[in-house]
Chains A and B, each alone.
Chain A
Amino acid sequence: MTSTIFFQQLINAISLGSLYGLVAIGYTMVYGILRLINFAHGDLLMFAAYVAIYMGALTVFPWYLSFPAAILATGILGILLDRAAYRPLRDAPRISLLISAIGASFLMQNLALVIIGGVPKAFPRPEVFDRVITLFDVRIQVLAIYTPIITIILLLGLLFIVYRTKVGKAMRAASKDFETTRLMGINVNAVIAMTFFLGSTLAAAGGLMWAMRFPQVNPFMGVFPGLKAFIAAVVGGIGNIVGAVIGGFILGLGEILIVAFVPQLAQYRDAFAFVILILVLLFRPTGIMGEPITDKS
C-alpha cells in the first residue's frame, strides 16, 4: 500500500470514527442516566436526514438554516421518545424498558417506510462540504476533514454543558442516584428530557454528516450506525462521554484499516464491530475509560 492511499484511508477512518463517536455520546448519556440501551437512537439519524431533505426541497431554506432546524427537530423528537416510550416505564423491570425501546425503533423505521417509501432518496450535499482539496499530494474531500473538527467542537460544547452548568450538574447527579437527586430538589424527569435532547441533537448532527458521506437516505439507514455507535460507547466505557468518542475513533479506525490491509475481510466488515464488543465485554467489561457502573434498580 502506498503512503498516499494509507493517508487517504486514515483520514477516511478518522472521519468515520468521529461519526460513530458523535452518535455514541447519545447512547452513553442515556445509558448513564437510565441504564437503558436506547435502541431507537440510531433511527434519529434517519429522521434528521429526512427532515433536512424535505426542508431543502419544500422551502427556500439554504442548508445553514435547514440543518439546524433538522437538528432541533430531532432533539424534540428525542424528548417525545422518552415521554412516550420510556417515561411510563420508569419503575418497570429493565427488560420492559428495553423491549419498549426495540418497539420504538421498529415503529420509527416502519412509519418512515409507510410515509416516505422504501426507495432511497439522494441527499443534496451543500457545496461547502463538496469541495476537494489536495493535502500532501492527496486529494481529500473537505467533508472528511470537517467531520472530525465538527465532532470535537460539539464534544467540547457538550463537556462545557455537563461540567460547567447547573443542568449538567443535575445530569451528573441523576446518573448516580435518582432518589438523592430528587431530594436535592431537582426534577428528575426534566433532567432526563434534557439528556435525551442533547443526545438526540448530537445524533442528528451525526446523521446529517452520515447522509452527506453516504448520500442515500432510506428508512433503515440508522440501524447499522446506531448499533456500531452503541458498541463504540461500550468500548469507550459506557457512561463516559469522552470515552464514547474515543471508542468511536477506535471502531472507525479498526473497521477501515482492517479492510484496507486485508481486503478479503471486506464482506465481514459488519461483523467486526460485534467481535470487538464481545472481546471488550470478555476482557474489560467497563471499557477503556469506564468506571464500574453501579447497578441502579
Chain B
Amino acid sequence: MTRDRVKLVLNILALLLLFSILYFFDRYGSPYHVRILNNMGIFITLAVSYNLVNGYCGVLHLGPNAFIAIGAYTSSLLTMSPLEKQMNFIIEPLMWPLSVLQAPFSLSLICGGVAAALFAFLISFPVFRVRGDYLAIVTLGFGEVVRVLCNASQSVTNGPLGLKGLTPHTNLWWSWGIAVLTLILVVRLVNSSYGRAMKAIRDNEPAAMAMGVNPFRHLLMAFLISAFFCGVGGGLLAHLITTISPTLFTFFLTFNLLIIVVVGGLGSTTGAVLGAILFAWGGEALRVVESPMNLGFMTLPGIPGMRMVLFSVILMLVIIFMRRGIMGHREFSWDWILDKLQRKEAELKKP
C-alpha cells in the first residue's frame, strides 16, 4: 500500500472514531458532557480560524469577538420566527426586512459567516495600514465599536436585552461537523502556496515583498477566511446557549481565544485544536473553584474571578517560559508516526 493510501485509510478511521464517540455521547452522554463536547467543537472552529491570522500571518488581531458577535446576531435573527421576534423586541420593533426574513439554520450560519467577512473587509483597510501593537489596538477598537453598536442599535439587536429563546439547533453533529470542515479547509490553506506566502510575511515581511508576495492581499485573505469561520462559530454558539446579549461578546471572549492559541502554540493548527480541547474541558473542570465547596465540616464560599486569575497566570507563564506553547510550529502528521513505526520495524528486522 502506498503512503498516500495508508494516510487516507488512517484519516477515515480517525473520522469514524470521532463519529462513534459523538454518537455515543449523543445517545448516552449526560447533558453536562454533551455541553462540554459542544463547547469543544465550537472553540476548535473559533481557535483554528483565529490562529490563521495570529499564528500564520503573525499579526496580533484582537477583534475576533466582533466577528463572533456579528455571526451570532445575524444567524439568530434569521432563525427566529417573526412571532418570536415580536415577542423579543418589546422596546423598539425590529426593523424591516429583518422582521420578516427567516431562514433554515444551515443557511443562517452561512449568512452569519458572510456578514462577519463583509465587516472584516470593511475594516481591513485601516487595520492593515498598521502593524504590531497598533494593529492590535485598532482591532481591539473595532471589537469595542461592534459591542457598543450592539448595545445601542435597539432596532437591530434589541440592545442590552439581547435575543432570548433561540431554538437550540446546535448539537454535537453541527458543532463537530463544522469544526472538522474548518479544520480541513484551514489545514489545506496553510499548507498551500497561499499559506506559505502568509508564513513568509510572518517570518520577514520585507523579504516576502521582495519575493513578490503582496502582503495586503494575503493578510486580507486570511482575515476574511478567519472572520467567516468566526461568524459561523458565533452562529453555532448562539444556538447552543440560546440567549445572546452584547455582554457575551466583550474583549473577554477574545482573551479566551488568545489563551487557547498561545497555549497550543501560535502558528500550529494542531496546537489550536489541543488548546481548544484543554480550554473547554479545563474551563469546566475549574468551575469548582468558583462554586461553594462543602468539605463536610465547613463550607468554603466560591470565589468569583478565580478561574480568570488562573487563566491569566497560565497565559503569562506560557508566554514567558515556553513561548512556543505546546506545539510550537509543529503539526500532527501521520507521516511522522509512520516514519517512527517504519524505523522501529527496520530496527526489529536487524539481527
Given contacts A96-B319, A99-B262, A104-B312, 11 further A-B contacts (CB under 8 A): A89-B320, A95-B60, A104-B316, A107-B313, A110-B305, A114-B303, A117-B304, A273-B141, A277-B141, A281-B130, A281-B134
Q: Which 3 A-B pairs rank lowest in CB-CB distance, beginning with the nearest?
A: A113-B305, A274-B141, A107-B312
Task: Give A35's nearest chain B residue, CB to CB.
Answer: B133
Complex contacts, B149 vs chain A, CB 8 Å:
268, 271
In angstroms, Cα B258 to Cα A282, docked, is: 26
Mark each residue of chain A from 95 to 117: 1 if its CB lies under 8 Å from any CB of chain B, else 0: 11011101110110111011001
Is the CB–CB distance between B305 and A118 below 8 Å? yes
Is the CB–CB distance between B316 and A37 below 8 Å? no
A158 at the interface (CB under 8 A from B): no
In angstroms, Cα B315 to Cα A102, docked, is: 9
Is the CB–CB distance between B137 and A277 below 8 Å? yes
Task: Give A104's nearest chain B residue, CB to CB.
Answer: B316
A88 at the interface (CB under 8 A from B): yes
In angstroms, Cα B303 to Cα A117, docked, is: 9
B145 at the interface (CB under 8 A from A): yes
Complex contacts, A109 vs chain B, CB 8 Å:
308
Known contacts being A98-B136, A113-B305, is A282 close to B148, with CB within 8 Å? no
Main secondary structure of the interface of B (DSSP, over half): helix
Complex contacts, B321 vs chain A, CB 8 Å:
88
In angstroms, Cα B138 to Cα A231, docked, is: 10
Complex contacts, B323 vs chain A, CB 8 Å:
92, 96
In angstroms, Cα B312 to Cα A267, docked, is: 31
13 contacts between A and B (CB under 8 A): A88-B320, A92-B323, A95-B132, A98-B133, A99-B60, A102-B255, A106-B311, A117-B304, A270-B148, A271-B144, A273-B141, A281-B126, A281-B134
A132 at the interface (CB under 8 A from B): no
Complex contacts, A234 vs chain B, CB 8 Å:
134, 137
**Residues of chain A in range 69-106 having any CB-CB distance to chain B below 8 Å:** 85, 88-89, 92, 94-96, 98-100, 102-104, 106
Mark each residue of chain A from 18 to 50: 1 if its CB lies under 8 Å from any CB of chain B, else 0: 000000000000010001110000000000000
Known contacts being A99-B319, A106-B308, is A270 close to B144, with CB within 8 Å? yes
Known contacts being A92-B323, A274-B141, is A103 close to B312, with CB within 8 Å? yes
Complex contacts, B141 vs chain A, CB 8 Å:
273-274, 277-278
Complex contacts, B308 vs chain A, CB 8 Å:
106, 109-110, 113
A267's partner among B60, B132, B152, B262 (CB-CB below 8 A) is: B152
Complex contacts, A95 vs chain B, CB 8 Å:
58, 60, 132, 266
B181 at the interface (CB under 8 A from A): no
Is the CB–CB distance between A107 and B316 below 8 Å? yes
Complex contacts, B258 vs chain A, CB 8 Å:
99, 102
Complex contacts, B133 vs chain A, CB 8 Å:
31, 35-37, 94, 98
A230 at the interface (CB under 8 A from B): yes
**Contact-size category for B:** 35 or more
Complex contacts, B316 vs chain A, CB 8 Å:
85, 100, 103-104, 107
Complex contacts, B312 vs chain A, CB 8 Å:
103-104, 106-107, 110
Is the CB–CB distance between A114 and B319 below 8 Å? no
Complex contacts, B91 vs chain A, CB 8 Å:
none
A94's partner among B126, B132, B305 (CB-CB below 8 A) is: B132
A254 at the interface (CB under 8 A from B): no
Q: Smallest Cβ distance from B289 to chain A, in angstroms?
A: 10
B43 at the interface (CB under 8 A from A): no
Task: Give A279's nearest chain B residue, CB to CB.
Answer: B126
In angstroms, Cα B319 to Cα A95, docked, is: 10
Complex contacts, B87 vs chain A, CB 8 Å:
none
Is the CB–CB distance between B129 and A281 below 8 Å? yes
A285 at the interface (CB under 8 A from B): yes
In angstroms, Cα B135 to Cα A37, docked, is: 11
Complex contacts, A106 vs chain B, CB 8 Å:
255, 308, 311-312, 315
In angstroms, Cα B267 to Cα A96, docked, is: 13
Q: Smallest Cβ distance from A29 to chain B, in angstroms?
A: 15
Is the CB–CB distance between A37 and B137 below 8 Å? yes
Complex contacts, A219 vs chain B, CB 8 Å:
305
Is the CB–CB distance between A113 and B304 below 8 Å? yes
Is the CB–CB distance between B305 and A114 below 8 Å? yes
Complex contacts, A117 vs chain B, CB 8 Å:
304
Q: Smallest Cβ distance from B59 to chain A, in angstroms?
A: 8
Complex contacts, B62 vs chain A, CB 8 Å:
102
Is the CB–CB distance between B137 and A230 below 8 Å? yes
Is the CB–CB distance between A267 and B151 below 8 Å? yes
Is the CB–CB distance between A100 and B319 below 8 Å? yes
Mark each residue of chain B from 137 to 161: 1 if its CB lies under 8 Å from any CB of chain A, else 0: 1101110110011011000000000
Mark each residue of chain B from 293 to 322: 1 if its CB lies under 8 Å from any CB of chain A, else 0: 000000000011110110111011001110
Is the CB–CB distance between B136 and A37 below 8 Å? yes
Q: Smallest Cβ distance from A100 to chain B, in angstroms?
A: 5
Known contacts being A94-B132, A113-B304, A282-B126, is A103 close to B319, with CB within 8 Å? yes
